[in-house]
Amino acid sequence: MKNKTELAQFIIDNVGGTDNINTVFHCVTRLRFKLKDESKANTEALKNKDGVIDVIQKGGMYQVVIGNAVEEVYDEVLKVG
């Protein structure tokens, strides 16, 4: 599970840290963040990270597409954050 923990920490760091996260939840393939300030997120770093498929900013949500492992990564985001 170490890779998922490292990925979770990387995601938290690159969405602007825990202080920038209002809420986080997930759907089937995506971590969905409601951020205080989306400009603090490093979208390019996230898009280039192994384990992240894409980043979508839509409807006030900052969505990090993970794929089938999203639930495991979500659990780690909650533990790390």
Q: 33 an active-site residue?
A: no
Place of tokens 């969905």: 32
Catalytically annotated residue among 1, 3, 25, 27:
27
Three-state SS at 13: helix
Q: Where are the beta strands (DSSP E) in 12-79?
A: 21-26, 30-35, 54-58, 61-65
Q: Tell me the catalytic residues.
A: 27
